[in-house]
Amino acid sequence: MKNGKTIVLLIGGYGFFGERLARLLSTDAELKVIIAGRSLDKAKKLVETLVASGATAELEATYLDSNSSSLASDVAATGAAIAVNLSGPFQNQGYHIASACIDARVHYLDLADAREFVNGIATLQGRAEAAGVVVISGASSVPALSSAVLDHLAPEFSEMTFIDIGISPGNRTDRGTATVSAILSYCGEPIRIWKNAEWLKESGWTKHVRHNYPAPVGARWLTLCEVPDLDLHLQRYPAVRSVIFRGGLELRVLHFGLAFVSVLRQARLLPRLPLFAGFAKRASELVISLGSDAGAMHVDVAGKGQDGRTLRKRWTLIAERGDGPYIPTLAAAALIRKLKRHELSGGRATPCVGVVSLRDFEAEFGTLAIRTGEEVL
């Protein structure tokens, strides 16, 4: 605390998602937000931009090397009560940043959506408990938002047997290299999925389906992706017989171009695809003026209602005006406010399920062009 303000350290705070989270937090006068990373110039530039935009939070820029052997002491020196790891991709990361935050006795959050990384965070439980801090991984669209939606829908079901989740961003929205790398990490690679009450192996970015979203999004192609949800929802709802997650790109040329590359990788005719993340991002930006700035997410649940009859419900989110990239930051913003209000107890390391409600997410929508709806199918 400084002058009664909760100090939040954003590690990689000027990056693709870091900038958006910083914008969300900059309107909270009860916070001091430190934007940190290896480029002090970029951190300072973002601070200047936010100040010019009328920020009410106290803002500061600082140099921080997340790979430094002195990271724990460097984090502690900032005086932060909460640190957010925004330095993705998380597919090949270890827990050195989380460990450093624990050693510094600082609450730790991240926006990871990497299956093994998020699901493995519980290995830090003993250390988090000893330090009395919260360690939460996956404060992103998945599994944080998807699990919040399931928690919201669950009371209507006596038994949930089928979960289908999909996300499709608008093509005319910004994209980060780390996000592109994360997608490429599972394209053409084997993915374990729970289908018809058994574990099966499928290949990433295959099994394409067409999903109809409300206007202005419309019909989009979706395909198999690897996310923490494939394990976590089965653990929380043991009666579930199938858990499917699909993502997709708005433009067919990009969606099926990636499918073709995935087939080549599946046949091992290409090296691991994240090597081409920079090239893929630049190639996608050649057609960024095409398509729309509207993205969508859906969560379909089927099973038995409380009356014993078959029930299928769909929750849908639509994001317009290019605001879709803010969605992965909303859980972290909500958690920061909960920690600020002392609504979360320390001493646990967990994936971000059951800690952020759908109402918490909705409270963060603010002026963003985001709307949601529910329907019975």
Q: What is the mean pLDDT of residues 282-290?
A: 92
Q: What percent of the chain has pLDDT over 90?
A: 94
Cα distance between residue 173 and residue 369, in whole Å: 13
Using the 8-state DSSP alphabet, how is residue 345 labeled? -
Cα distance between residue 208 and residue 48, in whole Å: 44
**pLDDT-based confidence at residue 184 (cuts at 50, 70, 90):** very high
Cα distance between residue 231 and residue 68, in whole Å: 33
Using the 8-state DSSP alphabet, how is residue 142 labeled? I
First vs last Cα of the chain: how many Å apart? Answer: 49
Q: What is the mean pLDDT of residues 266-276?
A: 94
312 class by beta-carbon count within 10 Å (0-12 exposed, 13-18 middle, 19+ buried): middle
Scanning the chain, the segments in alpha helix (DSSP H) are 16-25, 40-52, 71-77, 96-103, 115-119, 125-131, 146-153, 177-184, 229-236, 252-266, 277-285, 327-340, 358-365
Q: Which fold has domain 6-140+326-367?
A: Rossmann fold (3.40.50)
CATH code assigned to 142-323? 3.30.360.10
Pairing state of beta strands 157-168 and 370-376?
A: unpaired
Averaged pLDDT of the chain: 95
Token pair 């406010």 in the structure block, residue: 337
Evaluate the omega torsion of the peptide bond into residue 216 and state whether it is cis, within 30 degrees of 0: yes
Cα distance between residue 336 and residue 118, in whole Å: 19
Domain boundaries, the chain: 6-140+326-367, 142-323
Cα distance between residue 150 and residue 137, in whole Å: 18
C-alpha gyration radius of the chain: 20
242 class by beta-carbon count within 10 Å (0-12 exposed, 13-18 middle, 19+ buried): middle
pLDDT tens for 10-60 read: 999 999 999 999 999 999 999 999 999 999 999 999 999 999 999 999 999
pLDDT tens for 309-361 read: 999 999 999 999 999 999 999 999 999 999 999 999 889 999 999 999 999 99
The answer to whether the beta carbons of residues 334 and 365 sit under 8 Å apart is no
In terms of Cα–Cα distance, which of 334, 358, 349 is closest to 136?
349
Q: What is the pLDDT of residue 1?
A: 58
Q: What is the mean pLDDT of residues 135-161?
A: 97
